[in-house]
């Protein structure tokens, strides 16, 4: 199930990359195929990138035009992505990039609403100049977001292993995924090494070698996502990996305010940073 959740995330991330190249970059299918073919020879080498390139080679036999352009943009699903998200919420594990992929598939179904909204809001996608520097940023941003997607899914397995006493051997999970499944990729080699260093690693992002991979790609992911958001291209999954990373690296989150609000309106109590215990305050009376 979690394999499929990660698969949903990777497919959504690839689709957003395609959208940037096509809508903001104005690239044609041949050029997009070349880019995915080239990416499949480098850090992004993976089954999903490989088949994406092949999709852009396929012609509709009758019209002799690219088949991908004739496919309706409403996603189907068998439910495995949804189950992954629902289960993660029960386990209290944050997997926002998978949640986002599920939400975006659901949003795609409302084609009639989207058509109405497009006529009301008349979105003008700003153009982006897709030069070599931009393509390098895009490739690095996609690699960054793939790592985060795997990290979130594996974090869910690590938590499930403890909470549900499932005793999941994460090094074996990676071995199985490498052996020939839809999310197989060169990156799994790096993850094997990380789990060989610590088989109980709670989150891949805490491994020092994975941290190097992330640090080298962080700025690209940040630049790319900001540029796409300014251009009006919906990069929900890409953006969610950057914001997850920023939250994950925040020793201090603004959640103290949420706890204060909850205690204010519902007396839900709060903990303190300076002493043990559970506290309640009559906030509005203590001015």
Q: Which one among 40, 185, 190, 225 touches a copy of itself, defined by CB under 8 A?
A: 225
Between 67 and 168, CB nearer to a copy of itself: 67
3-state secondary structure of 165: coil
The residues, any chain, with a CB within 8 Å of residue 47's CB and separated by 6 or more, are 181, 182, 183, 184, 185
Is residue 123 a contact point for a copy of itself (CB under 8 A)? yes
Is residue 217 a contact point for a copy of itself (CB under 8 A)? no
Is residue 199 a contact point for a copy of itself (CB under 8 A)? no
> Using CB under 8 A as the criterion, what x/- string covers residues 256-275 for binding a copy of itself?
xxxxxxx-xx--xxxxxxx-
Q: How many CA atoms lie within 13 A of 272 on its CB side?
A: 8
- The footprint of a copy of itself on this chain (CB under 8 A) covers a number of residues equal to 115
229 to 258, contacts with a copy of itself by CB under 8 A?
229-230, 232-236, 239-240, 242-244, 246-258
Spatial contact of 126 and 24, defined as CB atoms under 8 Å apart = yes
Is residue 15 a contact point for a copy of itself (CB under 8 A)? yes
Q: Which one among 28, 34, 41, 69 touches a copy of itself, defined by CB under 8 A?
A: 69
CA 172, CA 2: separation in Å to the nearest integer?
Answer: 14
Is residue 163 a contact point for a copy of itself (CB under 8 A)? no
Is residue 39 a contact point for a copy of itself (CB under 8 A)? no
Between 172 and 258, CB nearer to a copy of itself: 258
CA 270, CA 281: separation in Å to the nearest integer?
Answer: 9
Phi and psi of 242, rounded to 5°?
Answer: -70, -45
Least distance (Å) between residue 165 CB and a copy of itself: 20
Q: 10 Å Cβ neighbour count for 36? A: 23
Spacing of C-alpha 103 from chain mean position: 12
Is residue 175 a contact point for a copy of itself (CB under 8 A)? no
């Amino acid at each position: 199930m979690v394999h499929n959740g990660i698969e949903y995330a990777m497919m959504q991330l690839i689709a957003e990359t395609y959208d940037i190249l096509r809508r903001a970059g104005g690239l044609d299918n041949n050029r997009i195929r070349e880019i995915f073919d080239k990416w499949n020879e480098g850090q992004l080498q993976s089954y999903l990138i490989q088949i994406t390139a092949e999709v852009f080679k396929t012609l509709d036999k009758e019209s002799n035009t690219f088949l991908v352009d004739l496919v309706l943009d409403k996603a189907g699903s068998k439910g495995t992505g949804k189950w992954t998200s629902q289960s993660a919420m029960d386990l209290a594990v944050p997997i926002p990039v998978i949640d986002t992929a599920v939400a975006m598939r659901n949003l795609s179904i409302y084609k009639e609403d989207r058509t109405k909204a497009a006529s009301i809001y008349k979105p003008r996608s700003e153009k982006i100049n897709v030069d070599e520097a931009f393509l390098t940023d895009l490739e690095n941003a996609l690699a960054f977001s793939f790592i985060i997607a795997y990290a979130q899914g594996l974090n869910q397995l690590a938590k499930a292993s403890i909470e549900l006493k499932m005793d999941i051997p994460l090094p074996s999970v990676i071995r199985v995924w490498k052996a020939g499944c839809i999310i197989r990729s060169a990156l799994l080699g790096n993850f094997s090494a990380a789990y060989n260093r610590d088989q109980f690693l709670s989150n891949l992002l805490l491994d020092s070698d994975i941290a190097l991979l992330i640090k080298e790609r962080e700025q690209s992911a940040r630049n790319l996502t900001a540029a796409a958001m300014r251009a009006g291209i919906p990069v929900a999954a890409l953006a969610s990996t950057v914001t997850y990373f920023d939250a994950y690296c925040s020793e201090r989150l603004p959640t103290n305010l949420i706890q204060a609000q909850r205690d204010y309106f519902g007396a839900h109590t709060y903990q303190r940073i300076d002493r043990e215990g559970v506290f309640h305050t009559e906030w509005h009376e203590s001015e």
